[in-house]
Structure 1
Amino acid sequence: MQTGSEGEAAVKHAFVKLGWGAAAAPEFDVGTDLFLLVRDQRLFDSGRMLGAQIKTGKAFFKEPKKDSTGQTVGWWFRDNDDEHTAYWINHVLPHILVLHDPETGTSHWVGLTADTVVSTGAGVKILVPSGNTIDEDHRDALMAFAASHHRTSPWEGSAWTGAVSISTSAMLRHALLVPRLVVPRRRAEPQSLLSRRKPPPWSSKVASTNWRPIRT
């Protein structure tokens, strides 16, 4: 727990150095360690937000990926429970995964999308590039990810596509639930609706009142 807290504090500090707003969510952590307010070089709020999941320690750097020259180009992060990955990808906010090395004090990140998540058959793995660090040189890349993967749920038309992907373990539950939500309901005919309308309380008095037109 102490190592995780140290990493979260270090990553938060790195974003604060960029002038970004950073709020921790330790009490309600379900897959998001930090909520980030995205700001440009002028420290103007962009109106965008990012979620960040942080993993700290040498254990997360034990599976490097190397290029043809033997240079490390990144590290594989494995998730045997794809529900966590589905949470990050389906979240209304774009999320990044951060690997923090407490020995070097460096944090590496990757944007979480369906394209960066690789299925292994027994879970998923995600490549965190070694060149993606949290600093001024990568502010634009972080801002670009926040902007390009910002999603809103479309409600127009007859089909809702807000759920980008559904984890395998949740498919059956969704298959049983969705038909109950979208089944059409019978609606009363307009004439029957009119017949149900009660006349205003003063209508009977007006109808029973004797009146004569005024002659001039």
Structure 2
Amino acid sequence: MAKLYYYYSAMNAGKSTVLLQSAHNYQERGMDVLLLTASIDDRFETGKISSRIGISAEASLFDKNTNIPELVKSRNESNALSCILIDESQFLTKEQVYDLSEIVDNLHIPVLAFGIRTDFQGELFEGSQALLAWSDKLIELKTVCHCGSKATMVIRMNEQGIPVKEGAQVEIGGNDRYLSVCRKHFKEAVRD
């Protein structure tokens, strides 16, 4: 039975690496997969899912206006899809997550979504909130804080390395802008 999986973590836990390994596992068995990544994330190459360890794969882009069921229907007509893998799933809308659940339930195609749970202010992203509510299986991928504890939060930093406490929820960046930390160090960083 197909399921909707949500793999979540703070940054730098290896989400893209796990996604790319999963895609490889399907593909080496001759199965077709649909890879999706957020068009807003242009840190690497547009239309590509890239891992910090150096592996990558071409992917279709999505944004808040992407009709995922139409994309799946079109792709599924030419070759039956065995799995849908989504990177940066925190940028999905609530409606898109619902559509993914419909794809799982009605087309019986497994969906593996990978994303960050919370933003730099400790708030859920829209896609993350919907995935936490609608997924059949939640899988936490772990990374560590500088203190050695499990990192569950993300701090945004300015150019001087000082934690930022206000601003837009979405600002694309990597290790130069974000730091994964435990809850204790998150609270210390955002205290006034």
What interval of TM-score do these two structures reach, taking the shorter chain for normalisation?
under 0.3
TM-score by length of 2: 0.27
Comparing both chains, which one has the higher relative contact order based on Cα–Cα distances under 8 Å and sequence gaps of 6 or more?
Answer: 2
Higher Rg: 1
TM-score by length of 1: 0.24
